[in-house]
Chains A and B, each alone.
Chain A
Amino acid sequence: MGKAKANAGPLARRPDNSAFKQQRLPAWSPMLTAQTVLPFFYGMAIVCVLLGVWLLVTVQNTHELKVDYTHAGSCDKCFEKRKDRANANQSCNCTVVFNIENTFKGDVFFYYGLINFHQNLRQYMDSRDDGQMIGRNKNLKNPSYYCEPFIKDKNGLPIAPCGAVANSMFNDSFTLMYHSAAGSRVVPLFRKGITWYTDKNVKFRNPQVENKTLTLAQVFEGTGQPLYWQKPVYDLDPWDRNNNGFINEDLIVWMREAAFPNFKKLYGVLNRAIEPFTDGLPAGNYSVLISYNFPVEYFQGRKEVVLSTVSWFGGQNNFLPVAYLVTGCLILLLAVILTAVWWKFGKNGRNMKE
């Protein structure tokens, strides 16, 4: 760039006559004229309104039911019990009853929700060791200092999984019951397939050992369970041996920290292979049996159970459809104002005179 040309002569230092150097690059200069701006605004208004309507229709076709069970129904006593930390090891079961009026058609998802639980605190979020969770043996026995103060248990054993996130894992469990004329029956839920594929297969792995015959418990030997856990990590799912250790899907779901203090996390998916749930959840009376373990009283939190169907647009969230409708209307209003102003001031170019 800018090197003097080698050729001598009377015009040796004459700059190149390139479009770039002479700042004559061909260019497109868009202008904000009435001919471009007004049609664009009307167009955008139409697009937004149409999108809004379409999304609204889509969202209206989904169903969602939220049941707050913090101290609803018989859970009140459990709530009281969990206030006292001394009762932490006592189990407490309770039931919440609710009614579904319209059939939840299609896939139905069972979520648990937490209100006012800050999974997004910086120190909380940092308090985990991905290296341990991916199954690195070094990290298993020697977790990252990020896990402070949940690195070692009171016996001095390294905690697996370490850190505040894992330690505070949600440990209520649910059984959804359908009460029809034919009697009560358990609604079948898939408890696997609730995580991102990448999490389950890449991000979380059990420690790799040479000896394939070792049981998971032996692999985790020499580590302690997180302080607040009732079970060790290799024993999280007593029914499915392959859903244990770091690849336990409830753990994985929990470890994907929520961005906001109010969130819901997937607990299970309706198994539609079994009658009468092939079309979804039929209308009727339901109850949830809850193993009430997770204390929320300390942080004025609440817990809920959410049943929901989804569309291509995701869960039931009316914000985007409404926002598009409102935006569309605003743009239309703006377009009309702009047109009026243009009609009055800009059309004859009077303001453009010097």
Chain B
Amino acid sequence: MHVIYDNAIKTSKYNIFTFLPLNLFEQFQRLANAYFLFLLCLQSIPEVSSLPWYTTVVPLVLVLSMTMAKDGSDDMSFYRIENLTDFIIYGVSLSLSLSLLLLCLSLLLQADLLLLSSSEPLNLVYIETAELDGETNLKVKQALTVTGKLEDSVEKLANFNGEVRCEPPNNRLDKFTGTLTLKGETYSLDNERILLRGCTLRNTQWCFGLVIFGGPDTKLMQNCGRTTFKRTSIDRLMNVLVLSIFGFLMIMCLILAIGNGIWEYQEGSKFAAFLPKGVNAPFSAFLTFWSYVIILNTVVPISLYVSVEIIRLGNSFYINWDRKMYYPKNDTPAEARTTTLNEELGQIKYIFSDKTGTLTQNVMTFNKCSINGKAYGEKTEKVDFSWNNLADPKFCFHDNSLVEVVREGNPEVQAFFRLLSLCHTVMPEEKKEGELYYQAQSPDEGALVTAARNFGFVFRSRTPESITVVEMGELVTYELLAVLDFNNVRKRMSVIVRSPEGKLTLYCKGADTIIFERLNPSCSNLTEFAGEGLRTLALAYKDIDPEYMEDWKLRHHVANTAMDEREEKLDALYEEIEKGLLLLGSTAVEDKLQDGVPQTIEQLSKADIKIWVLTGDKQETAENIGYSCNMLREEMNEVFIVSANTSEEAFALEKDMEIELLRTACMCQTVICCRVTPLQKAQVVELVKKYKQAVTLAIGDGANDVSMIKAAHIGVGISGQEGMQAVLSSDYSFAQFRYLQRLLLVHGRWSYLRMCKFLRYFFYKNFTFTFVHFWYGFFCGFSAQTVFDEWFITLFNLVYTALPVLSLSLFDQDVNDWWSFQYPQLYTPGQLNQYFSKRAFVYTVLHSGYSSLVLFFIPWAAMYDTVRDDGKEIVDYQSFALLAQTCLLIAVSIQLGLDTHYWTAMNQFFLWGSLSVYFAVIFTMYSNGMFLTLTSSFPFIGTARNSLNQPNVWLTMLLTSVLCVLPVVAYRFLRILLWPTINDKKIHKLLLFPHSRRTSTRRSGYAFSHAQGYGDLVTSGKFLRRTPKSRPALFSQTDSPLAQTQPQFYRTISEREEPPLSP
């Protein structure tokens, strides 16, 4: 009981001392690095060593140190995050030296607690579970009365001596069973008493709790799913390719070794007079095999992995730097939290999106209303509410005529707003005179009361028996006789009040369909906002006869205290009185989708990305969201529902059903999964990953999305909302859903394109380089003699070609971002793996085979039996090496130029710079000074001077370049002509109409909900026991998250029959 849980979750790998050995150990676990270490060992054997040690050591050291720097900085950032999240918990729990927690206001809970006592009446605490399940309305938890007596007395708490027995840690968020034994008595504990990690305390000054689960045992962490190291499909392909390259390398070496055996047998033995070897042919072949392993190792380039990392890092920086993904409202730039997945952003096939806070904004606004058959709220100028000194300045409405009507004293309009100011369960808070704050169970209720307030019917305060309203500047107190609270079945709420004049009135608001059934047949039609995608609340009232009321009240009291079937009896009573209502009008509260959501979804579906919405909400809400964000459209008739409730859904995810589910789902244009738990979200993602072999992306903002974010290939967190759980476990984060299209269609596409171009070019370059050695084997008795200077071999990948290829893969664009948006179809090649696949790899190998033939045999034939223009030697080994390596470098540089589509100054600079550096380096290395200082390392003295002044050398280079490049140009030209890809077509179009622009249309969607209110509390009379002085506003227009729990649904999309007309 007194054990303090270690609540830390360790994410950093190293400390200062373990860093070097651990990191090195890890790095050498990588196949490539281990391979190079093995090569290094081979090179230390003199009989085998065909290259000096530095050809391997220099690249290896560079690669290791760069990776080490990156790992170190990554780990540092992990370390910082860890400290941030754990600071609060340690600070509080240790100071009490008990695992009791004093929780302050608005604090994110860090452990699962048993609630003991709180500052609020009835030991209530208000919590928000947005982090857990996405629901942003307040929930109430109540402590046991026995523990509630402890209050905030530290001594009592410290002496608290009970025993808690409970279930082992599990991932059920909605269930908890346990018992508390205190002084011999046993109390049952259920979910009502438990505060889970990830909840946020609201509206509660303090509370005490007993830590039940901490750290990884908490339900939140149990729900997070496994953190797996994510690899991109390119990564996996690369691994396969590297393995097959190994195989290929072995085959090449084997061929050359066999060649060496034969050569030794036939000729080498006779040449032994000049070169006594002392080994027989088979052993010589064996040694040669290893020598060639060293020489041909460049087919498995060590710099490949490091270059790939650098490219991904660079492209991640672009995401961080992108202004168009920066959300100025809360100063949030996009962030690439993982730097190793970029190119996969260009291959997404499925998007799994959360609804709450991801698709929708958090703001509820009173948007339109219809009073007595007349609609208000057409977009005109903004209404000036300055006449009303109690008005909420943040509220805005766009129809002046409504204000005029209210101020004229139109009785219907006034009744309309009176209803809004009376019929609710909002709690007011007045910190200063005239500064009102409303705390509502659901934000849209708050929005309605705020609307009434601004139109001059200010809900000022309430007691259990009365409601005080300022009606057009006049203080009026209504006697509150009954609150007929909202629930999901009734889908309406009513209040019965007695006005100061003594008139009894029932005010009712609720779902339009429900209200219509209860209207007086004489009622007029209600203006619908259906066509605009708005859903409406209908408002109605009824005057009540005092005698009937007396009778009803009596029966109500009886029912209310009944021990059995209380609910049913109350329902029947409510049903009885809510009849024959008179319609006042209707309201339309709007919870806007985030800006640009429908357009984004449209764009993404044009890019052939399938979007599934996974939400914990009920079916109706989800469907409505589907309609408002263009996913479901009117013309889609066949909306059918596979599973309706939680248990069935879970059932469908079981083994035998999952393929069926997937097949059905994939046939649909749009998939919306409702009532899914966090873990089921992850299961759906896993299902698609498993059977569709497609790249998936999950996007969400709450802790309930964490498992899905972790399960998908790419997880995106919406930041800037409350809570950081989703962001912390995501790979990319930004503030608005609409940035997703830029992330995918621009950054993802470019990253993928760049990575593929890079890989193709890189393999081309290295294969060409290596094959030349292979051909030379046939001329040098398979003795593992290199064609190139050893220094060239060392520096080729690291210096001469590193920067140009990096600039290609950091700056290249096929079309600019605007065109990428204009033609989302350009995204499809990535989904089909068209730019880099095994097939493309084979083409690359064949291409480099051709190039290497040209690059070896043209210089060979051109130099055969020739001499310098002064008759001296030019076909010596050193001159030939220089010629061959220069030909190679020029040819691969030109090839790079051909692959570059976007020539920035950087590309030019790096390409020309690298060529200049090459010439500078060879003239330096082949200089007298270098030779005299390090004779054995630089034997090529004078080669550059003596051979690069020869015209036939340059003519050979020209010919090799022409022969290497022109076929490629011709092939590409023909391909564009005959089999243009989608890219070629768009680029062609761009050439024809470089300045055409399309204006985009803007649409908005709406969704809103309503939730069960505080009816019980309002009437219980105890909520005013204490005057809350320092409570913050629960509901404010700007930052409160969207309420989505227990929603009440107002279907307006479906065709509805007209209600009967009244005369």
Contacts and interface: CB of A to CB of B under 8 A. Distances in A.
B864 A319 contact: yes
B862 A320 contact: yes
Interface stretch (A90-98, A192-200, A207-215, A285-293): A192-200
B50 interface: yes
B1047 to A, nearest CB: 34
B275 A315 contact: no
Contact of B931 (A203, A266, A311, A316): A203
Interface string B583-606: 000000000000000000000000
A33 B990 CA distance: 13
Interface in B318-376: 318, 320-324, 326, 328, 331-333
Given A130-B936, A196-B942, A310-B870, A2 B972 contact: no
Given A32-B973, A259-B876, A261-B779, A196 B946 contact: yes
A334 B270 CA distance: 48
Contact of B275 (A127, A194, A353): A127
Nearest to B884: A259
Nearest to A203: B941
A149 B945 CA distance: 33
B321 A13 contact: no
Contacts of A125: 785, 877
Given A196-B872, A256-B873, A310 B781 contact: no
A338 B970 contact: yes
A51 B951 CA distance: 12
Contact of A338 (B317, B817, B973): B973
A338 B974 contact: yes
Given A125-B785, A300-B267, A257 B876 contact: yes
B941 A198 contact: yes
Contacts of A168: 274-275
Contact of B323 (A17, A197, A261): A17
B50 A30 contact: no
Given A122-B784, A122-B785, A320-B956, A25 B878 contact: no
B877 A119 contact: yes
Contacts of A29: 901-903
B988 interface: yes
Interface string B804-829: 00000001010011000000000000
A125 B785 CA distance: 9
B956 A351 contact: no
Contacts of B858: 323
A49 to B, nearest CB: 12
B328 A11 contact: yes
A312 B951 contact: yes
Interface string A255-271: 01111111111100100
A144 B785 contact: no
A346 B974 CA distance: 9
Interface string A298-316: 1110000000101111111
Contact of A134 (B863, B935, B951, B955): B935
B867 interface: yes
Contact of B903 (A27, A198, A262): A27
A315 B977 contact: no
Nearest to B747: A23
A347 B865 CA distance: 48
B1009 to A, nearest CB: 32
Of the candidates B322, B780, B905, the one having the most CB atoms from chain A within 10 angstroms of its own CB is: B780
B323 A14 contact: yes
A31 B991 CA distance: 9
A312 B869 contact: yes
Contacts of A346: 976-977
B395 interface: no
A209 to B, nearest CB: 18
A324 interface: yes
Interface in A114-136: 116, 118-125, 127, 130-131, 134, 136
A15 interface: yes
Interface string A100-120: 000000010101000010111
B931 A14 contact: no
A44 B962 contact: yes
B980 interface: yes
A164 interface: yes
A154 interface: no
A275 B973 CA distance: 62
Contacts of A27: 811, 813, 902-904, 907
Contact of A194 (B872, B903, B928): B872
A351 B980 contact: yes
A14 B328 contact: yes
Given A21-B321, A134-B932, A320 B959 contact: yes
Given A41-B970, A202-B928, A120 B779 contact: yes
Contacts of A109: 867, 871
A90 to B, nearest CB: 17
Interface string B743-755: 0000000100000
Contact of A21 (B318, B864, B935, B974): B318
A352 B988 contact: yes
A168 B877 CA distance: 17
A221 interface: no
B273 interface: yes
B1063 interface: no
B959 A121 contact: no
Contact of A2 (B320, B952, B985): B320
B726 interface: no
Contacts of A134: 931-932, 935
Nearest to A28: B903
A41 B966 contact: yes
B906 interface: yes
B843 interface: no
A25 B905 contact: yes
Contact of B876 (A30, A258, A342): A258
B977 A345 contact: yes
Given A260-B860, A266-B872, A351-B980, A123 B813 contact: no
A155 interface: no
Contacts of A12: 331
A11 B331 contact: yes
A320 B952 contact: yes
Contacts of B633: none
Nearest to B953: A314
A197 B870 CA distance: 12
Contacts of B867: 109, 111, 264, 266, 308, 310, 314-315
Contacts of B955: 51, 55, 313, 320, 324
A312 B955 CA distance: 12
A32 B976 contact: yes
Contacts of A353: 985
B187 interface: no
A234 B865 CA distance: 31
B259 interface: no
Given A259-B863, A313-B951, A123 B783 contact: yes
A95 B603 CA distance: 88
25 contacts: A2-B321, A14-B323, A21-B318, A31-B991, A32-B973, A37-B973, A107-B871, A119-B877, A122-B780, A124-B783, A134-B931, A144-B936, A167-B274, A259-B863, A298-B271, A299-B271, A300-B267, A314-B951, A314-B952, A317-B862, A317-B864, A327-B959, A331-B966, A341-B977, A353-B985
Given A130-B931, A300-B267, 10 more contacts: A26-B904, A29-B903, A120-B783, A121-B271, A121-B785, A131-B936, A256-B873, A260-B864, A261-B781, A266-B873
| 7 shortest interchain CB distances as A-B pairs | A198-B942, A259-B880, A21-B321, A109-B871, A317-B866, A315-B867, A168-B274
Interface of B: 50, 267, 270-271, 273-278, 291, 317-318, 320-324, 326, 328, 331-333, 750, 779-781, 783-785, 811, 813, 816-817, 858, 860-881, 901-907, 928, 931-932, 935-936, 939, 941-942, 945-946, 950-952, 955-956, 959, 962-963, 966, 969-970, 972-974, 976-980, 982, 984-985, 987-989, 991-992
